Amino acid sequence: MLPASLRPLFWSYEFEKLNLEKDGPLIIRQVINYGRWEDWKWLLKNYGRGKVKKTIQATPASGFRPQALKLITLLLGAAEPKYASRSTR
Per-residue pLDDT tens digits of the chain, which is 89 residues long = 899 999 999 999 999 999 999 999 999 999 999 999 999 999 999 999 999 999 999 999 899 999 999 999 999 987 777 665 565 55
* Residue 63 counted as domain residue: yes
Provide the domain count of the chain: 1
CA distance 36 to 76: 16
Strands (E), the chain: none
* Residue 46 counted as domain residue: yes
* Residue 3 counted as domain residue: no
Identify the pLDDT of residue 79: 73
* Residue 61 counted as domain residue: yes
* Residue 62 counted as domain residue: yes
Crossing angle of helices 37-58 and 24-34, rounded to 10°: 120
* Residue 1 counted as domain residue: no
CA distance 57 to 76: 12
- Report yes or no: 67 and 32 within 8 Å, Cβ to Cβ: no
* Residue 77 counted as domain residue: yes
Domain that holds residue 66: 37-82
